[in-house]
Structure 1
Amino acid sequence: MGDTSTPHTHPDAAAERGLRVLSTSDLAGIDISLADVVGTVEGAYQALAAGESDNPRKLTVTPADGHSVAYAMLGRDGNREVVAIKTSYKHGLQHGREEQHYYTTLTLYDDVTGLPVAMMDCGRIGSLRTPAVTALLARECARPGAASALVIGTGTQGRLALPFLLTTRPDLERLMLFGTHPDGVNAVREELRRHFPQREVDVVTDVRAAASEADIVVATAGGHTPAAVQADWLRPGALSILVGHGLAPSTLHRADRVVATSEAQMNVTGTDMADAAGELPAVDAEFPAVIAGTALGRGGPDERVFAYNSGLVVTDIVLGHRFAQLALDQGLGQRVSLWQ
């Protein structure tokens, strides 16, 4: 499954010298299939692995007291010939989630015409991109015949994890969920029912027992989760995917194979998984190379594989560009004469 759009088709906004601004509500109304999202994200990995794209390390700034954090990520997708910058800013880290402010934006430029494409809220882009990567990791790194999956966490990523997993692994027979928030559990069920009305999820309370039965464990929980799956709980051949929290460091350090979307990013953002000496193990394969077929996501059916899912800006770029195409086709957004 590759990028489902025409690589060199550029949105009509590129013919304007203004900037098309796409709001949260503009993007919320766009209908896009899960398979379309997965194929678009996969195309970004293929272009990156082929050396056609650029994905530099993110820049980070935070004040001394740690009350806020900001990121900037610049990248270029060579398949679509689009340059973009993503910014992310979170304020009020000393408070609960409901009191925090969080803003993320993506600005796209057409690298053929040299003109701007769009600026958009990046919330929905990120909420779809990450579980799509998880689904691709499950497709490439789970053992042959994998039949069961456990999702830990019921936030945004937890709610979309199962529908995306079933998109790339329709052979999954048993779906399990561990969550501590009843509203979140209900939201997971509703999201699964919306995409796969014939499927049900088993809500589990014993994480250890569920992890020992799962071929795929996806940890998407927040930092306060009581779940901490240990390496010796996992069955032979299990794949554990870390998106948020829910896996103990032993699942990484005792894995037979470690796969990361980016080893450099894992070394920066995965420090909570370090061992007692503050060290992280070397990565056996980066995921773009796995997608390209030049590295193995799994060496044998009984290997326990650990996969680290951190976002690459090239995946935001291609998915943002896909949304821009769909939005402009529908006449959504507002043209702003920023440079006039």
Structure 2
Amino acid sequence: MDRDDTTLRVLSTSDLAGLDISLADVVDTVEQAYRTLAAGKSDNPRKLTVKPDDGHSVSYAMLGRDGVRNVVAVKTSYKHGLDKGRDQQHYYTTLTIYDDTTGLPVAMMDCSRIGSLRTPAVSALLARECAAPDATTALVIGTGTQGRLALPFLLTTLPKLDRLLLSGTHPDGIGAVRTELARHFPDREVEVVDDLKSAARDADVIVATAGGHTPAAVEADWLKPGATAILVGHGLAPSTLHHADRVIATNEAQMRVTGTDMADSDGNLPAVDLELPVIISGVSKPRTSAQQRIFAYNSGLVVTDIALGHRFAELALKQGLGTEIPLWK
């Protein structure tokens, strides 16, 4: 069917699951989104949030524009059952993209796979930019969705890493980490560690992706000189932020909203030295010495979801995937 202004192509979870996209393609797409934002060609307004008084659900809406791809998009996220166990929760996230050149809708899609790829790609970019020049050892904390892809993405941006460590307690999750690593890098192996303190002392790069109930909490005095600690979920104690020589964030405003669990006893967070888009643009460097300990905070920016979502839409349209719905007819 020819595209017109009355139809919308809907890409389901299964449509997107079958798309083949390399880790390098994901990293390049996300990096381009940061460069475009730093150049002032994209717009990334602060997200809107609504949450009932009893906290049983939370909803987000994020609007953005990619000035290189010339697309506008809206991302929505809704999670219900925060007062219940994970198996009783409901989570839905969608991305709707419009072509700002033709004025036509591009697609509406499930955004879960986009987020599951975008976040570890951002961690990998933070690691590439912030890691000391001689970094060889990486430690991932957590074996959930983000932990399972953390190592493959780290090896994509830091191929010289020669020791890969994993801190996790769930056998199925550990198995999934091994499976993902073997799928992308069949010649590499991961070492599961029991002593988190000892592993943290050895690590040049730490990516903390654990869930909120984890007992893992790396302290600042466990970190070696020159270490980079990246927070995605949980697994780092607040001291790693407050005693860092440099603090990097994808976005300082978002860190101050979502990173309150890292605040000191007075409820304060330290100032951010640099944001990732500025670093990616080449204007500033994240470290001024190889011995500095760096804390990096990974929070999502909708422009990265838009760029990666548009890339997925391009691949899906070439394969004829999705369902055309005459939504406005």
TM range (shorter): over 0.9
1:88 match: secondary structure? strand
Cα distance per residue 1:282-328 (max 9 Å; x no partner): 00000000000112211110000000000000000000000000000
Deviations 1:69-101 (CA, angstroms, capped at 9, x unpaired): 000000001010110000000000011111100
Which of 80, 100, 103 in structure 1 is aligned with 2:89? 100
The CA RMSD measured in Å over matched residues stands at 1.0
* Aligned counterpart, 1:60: 49
Per-residue Cα deviation, 1:241-291 (whole angstroms, up to 9, x for no partner): 000000000000000000000000000000000001100000000000000
Provide the C-alpha distance between the structure 2 equivalents of 1:61 and 1:198, rounded to a whole number of angstroms: 46
Give the corresponding residue for 1:5: none
Corresponding residue number in structure 2 for 1:204: 193
Find the aligned partners of 1:144 and 1:73 in 2 and give their Cα distance: 36
Give the TM-score normalised by structure 1. Answer: 0.96
- Note if contact 1:146-1:216 (Cα within 8 Å) is conserved in structure 2: yes
C-alpha distance in 1, partners of 2:103/2:5? 11
> Residue 217 of structure 2 corresponds to which residue in structure 1?
228
Partner SS for 2:134? coil
- Given the two structures, how large is their TM-score scaled by the length of structure 2? 0.99
Equivalent residue letter for 1:111: D
1:291 and 2:280 aligned? yes
Measured after TM superposition, the shift of residue 14 of structure 1 is 5.7
Matches of 1:95 and 1:179, distance apart in 2: 23
1:174-197 residue CA offsets vs partner (Å, 9 max, x unmatched):
000001111000000000000000
How far off is 1:16 after superposition? 5.2
Q: How do residues 68-217 of structure 1 correspond to structure 2 at under 5 angstroms?
A: 68-217=57-206
Q: Which consecutive unaligned segments of at least 5 residues does structure 1 have? A: 1-11
- Indicate yes or no: 2:260 matched with 1:262: no
Give CA-to-partner distance per residue, 1:109-147, whole Å, 9 cap, x none.
001011110000000000000000011111100000100
Runs of 4+ with >6 A deviation:
none
Consecutive unaligned residues in structure 2, runs of 5 or more: none
Q: String of CA shifts for 1:170-225, please: whole Å, max 9, x gaps.
A: 00010000011110000000000000000000000111000000000000000011
Which of 24, 33, 50 is equivalent to 1:44? Answer: 33
Distance 1:315 1:14 in 2: 25
Deviations 1:153-176 (A, max 9, x none): 000000000000000000001000
Quote the sequence identity (%): 74
Q: Distance in 2 between matches of 1:295 and 1:281?
A: 19
C-alpha distance in 1, partners of 2:4/2:139?
Answer: 47
One-letter amino acid of the structure 2 residue matched with residue 73 of structure 1: M
SS where residue 72 of structure 1 aligns? strand
Confirm whether residue 19 of structure 1 aligns to residue 5 of structure 2.
no
Please point out which of 6, 22, 26 is paired with 1:33. 22
1:274 equivalenced with 2:255 (yes/no): no
- Please state whether the residue corresponding to 1:107 is helix, strand or coil: strand
Aligned length: 329
* Pairing 1:306–2:295 present: yes
Read off the aligned partner of 1:269 and give its amino acid letter.
T
Contact 1:38 1:133 in 2 (8 A): yes
- The match for 1:324 is 313
- Give the AA of the match of 1:42: E
Cα distance in 2 for partners of 1:162, 1:240 equals: 14
Say if 1:14 and 1:110, in contact at 8 Å, map to a contact too: no
Which region of structure 1 is more displaced relative to structure 2, 16-25 or 324-333? 16-25
Partner of 2:324 in structure 1?
335
